[in-house]
Chain A
Amino acid sequence: MKKVLALALALMLCVGMFAGCGEKSASQNIEGGTQTSDTQTGGTSGDPAELTLWLPIYQFGDGISDEEFWNQKLDAFEAENNCVVNLEILSWSDYATVIYTGMLSGAGEGPDVVYVTETYDLINAGLLAPLDEYITEEDQEKYVFLDQGAYNAEGQLCTWPMMAGNPCVVFYNMDMLAAAGITELPTTWDEFYDVCVALKETNPDVWPFIQSWGATNGVSAMLASFWPFFFQAGGTVLDDQGNLNLDSDATLEVLNFINKLKADGIFDDSIVTMDDPNGKFVNGEAAIIINGTGNAATYTEQGINWQCSLGLEGSGGLATNFSVDSLAVASYCEEKALAADLIKYITSAECMDDYHEQIYGMPSLTTDATYTEPEPFQSMYTNDADKMHVVPSFEGSASFMDQFQQNVQGMLMGQLTPEQVIEQTMTYYNEQIVS
């Protein structure tokens, strides 16, 4: 009897394992997210069209959940368009991997409309449908960040910005500046350098300006430490043919400036370690930091007397970088026009005003929106949106940035020159990364 029981249990284990490897059912949870399809439609003609929508979680507080919010909003779209939208809210854990594998699975398994962060491989693989034919003149006037989406090799827009903002701005600790006799914020690189020197002379125990070249990876390191300066130097990440354009004068100009800051003691040796620069600014150990506007609330909460400017004026003028994540339509989607309408609906003021109020505050996407960011950031979006640049996705970008970060560390340790940083990074990129 015992043997029979043991055999039955062994059999159950085997069956369970094979069942676990089986096809995902429509109502199955995926990767920490949830699927909330209320209605499943058949495949017969006359049935409402069906779209699958994948969005990431953005509610990190106690308010209404993403799922509840979108289900309420999507009811109106479904009724108006006689369709069913199967919504899946995904966690951020391995988000890009989930998206890639989901889209590779194709129709029936993957999403029709999807929120994308990394676009190069998806566009290169032809998995994202061009959206140009669905964009009207009215859309072009109404959607502020539309041209910041990602394009394919033919120059067709393949992604539609949904979350655009958090530009890297320069935060100043005004108490520290006042102690150094500085009352006006610097506007150019030269003025900025002078301010750093003055801060250093007034209080040698604090960091006048802090960067994070020891960050966990190159993407994080370059975000606030390189790209703002690069755009201020007039750099463009990709050339007209879509090739990487970082072996440029702009890159050299930035590296020379960073090298000068290190050589003149504005940065100390800890700049190549993982010491948390934001923590130093919050603790009043650093006077200046370049960081996303999303950190402003923390600085205020911590009692930092701060002011900020969008950026500095380099040889290419005033500029900085900001983030754009977008929605896209899968190329295998059978209802592309409907999918494009869904994107427009999601990014409309009707949805996004409430979304920004209830789920996650970001700059408004359309001219008719009523939601406003706190000052001084709203003014920046209103007056200087054209000075904010997005770093486009390119082949092997993460590996490239890792290598670039590593070589900049070498430069800051006195082992490489700025020219060698560029030369060695580009050689590595061309020999090892580009397919």
Chain B
Amino acid sequence: MFKTKGRASSPLMRRQAAYGIAYITPGMLIFLVFCIAPIFMTVFYSFTQYNLAQPPEWINLENYQKVFTNSQLRRALFNTVIYVIITVPLQTLLAMFVANFLAEYLNNRYGRFLRSVIFIPTLASYVAAASVWEVILASKGGLLNEILGIFGVGPFNWLGEPTSALICVSLVAVWKSVGYFTIIFYAGIMNVDVSVREAALIDGATPSQRFWKITAPLLKPITYLNVTLGIIWSFQAFDIVYKLTGGGPFGATSTVAYIIYAYAFQDFRIGYASAVAVLLLLVILLVHFIQQHFFEGKED
């Protein structure tokens, strides 16, 4: 970026380049030390037996052999994929609709208030959010069952049944994150040229047409960002699971990130946990490439 190809750089350009390098060095060092180096260290540890109490011992692919035959991990990976499939589309679409509603119909003080309200769950810690939902979803005396009971429905053991537990955990995650994605979508919509929307309005486009034909296509870069972040964060789901179900019942909500935590920080099987982490990284990269291809394909 500092040197033009095929042209000798001038002293001015060299000086500018030197300044540029100097400016970005602290940031780059932090990035290298705290982001890049740990990735390489994780890859290295994944080939070792390491428990913090002894130096790492190189064991070739033994951890990976175990990882691929680990039924618990297979189940966690399956749960994680289901979790991603539920949360990412739901939170993305919900956020997009809410943002569009706020921008189109509530671009006033009420809308500003509503934006703040929607954003509140994002500000709450996962532990606090999970504690609240624990009370709501409790099988006996839980708020949801009490309300359903008024209509003669239930009670249901929301967190005690495998299917409903995973769905509940996913929905709580959507509730927690939808505010964040709404704000990003809202900012994107407000950046859409007003004349485009006005032209559609004059041409007699219905609200549905305006949303699907105008707003949604123009929000594609924002959608790409939100889907990417959503997928990455969902694959790393841990806090909400840890607090709400502890991975149960019968492993129905255990996720890969939860398994990594248990292996690494309960048993100190750092090498094994690293192998799982590398596997998770590869899965996320694979999904990301598929997603990138999908979005690029649409653009073409």
Contact = CB atoms under 8 A, between A and B. Distances in A.
B250 A273 contact: no
B33 to A, nearest CB: 7
A124 interface: yes
Interface in A161-188: none
B160 A269 contact: yes
Interface string B19-51: 100110110011001000000000000000101
A78 to B, nearest CB: 30
B70 interface: yes
Contacts of B248: 214, 272-274, 405-406, 409
Contacts of A269: 139, 157, 160-161
Interface in A16-34: 17, 21
Contact of B71 (A14, A96, A125, A428): A428
A273 B159 contact: yes
Residue among A103, A397, A399 with most chain B CB within 10 A: A399
Interface stretch (A2-10, A61-69, A257-265, A317-325): A2-10
A211 to B, nearest CB: 13
A273 B160 contact: yes
Nearest to B165: A273
A300 interface: no
A273 B157 contact: yes
Nearest to A402: B262
A271 B159 CA distance: 10
Contacts of B293: none
B249 interface: yes
Contacts of A195: none
Interface in A387-435: 396-399, 402-403, 405-407, 409-410, 413, 415, 428, 431-433, 435
Contact of B29 (A14, A273, A402): A14
Contacts of B159: 214, 273-274
B26 A399 contact: no
Contacts of B146: none
A406 B140 CA distance: 22
Contacts of B51: 100, 121, 125
Contacts of A272: 160, 248-250
B197 interface: no
A341 B287 CA distance: 59
Contact of B244 (A270, A274, A428): A274
Interface stretch (A82-90, A215-223, A237-245): A215-223
B111 interface: no
B55 interface: yes
B158 to A, nearest CB: 8
Contact of B269 (A273, A396, A406): A396
B211 interface: no
Nearest to A400: B267
Interface in A276-321: none
Interface string A214-235: 1111010000000000000000
Interface string A346-379: 0000000000000000000000000000000000
B93 to A, nearest CB: 30
Residue among A17, A104, A272, A410 with most chain B CB within 10 A: A272
Nearest to A100: B52
B242 to A, nearest CB: 7
Contact of A215 (B26, B72, B246): B246
Contacts of B244: 274
Contacts of B246: 214-217, 274
Given A272-B248, A402-B266, A432-B70, A104 B52 contact: yes
B188 interface: no
A383 interface: no
A219 B262 CA distance: 11
A127 interface: yes
A287 to B, nearest CB: 15
Interface in B191-248: 242-248
Given A216-B242, A399-B267, A409 B250 contact: yes
Interface string B125-140: 0000000001000111
B8 interface: no
Contact of B245 (A101, A121, A273, A428): A273
B261 to A, nearest CB: 10
B159 to A, nearest CB: 5
Contacts of A219: 266
A49 interface: no
A246 interface: no
B3 interface: no
A6 B245 contact: no
B139 A273 contact: yes
Contacts of B19: 3, 7
Residue among B22, B51, B246 with most chain A CB within 10 A: B246
B53 interface: yes
B54 interface: yes
B97 interface: no
A6 to B, nearest CB: 7
A122 interface: yes
Nearest to B158: A273
Question: Nearest 5 A-B pairs (CB), nearest first?
Answer: A398-B266, A100-B52, A13-B26, A272-B249, A125-B53
Interface of A: 3, 6-7, 10-11, 13-14, 17, 21, 94, 96-97, 100-101, 103-104, 121-122, 124-125, 127, 214-217, 219, 268-275, 396-399, 402-403, 405-407, 409-410, 413, 415, 428, 431-433, 435
Given A13-B26, A274-B159, 19 more contacts: A14-B26, A97-B265, A104-B55, A125-B53, A125-B54, A216-B243, A219-B266, A272-B160, A273-B159, A275-B138, A396-B267, A399-B262, A402-B262, A402-B266, A406-B72, A406-B250, A428-B71, A428-B72, A431-B66
7 contacts: A214-B160, A217-B262, A273-B157, A273-B245, A406-B247, A406-B248, A428-B71
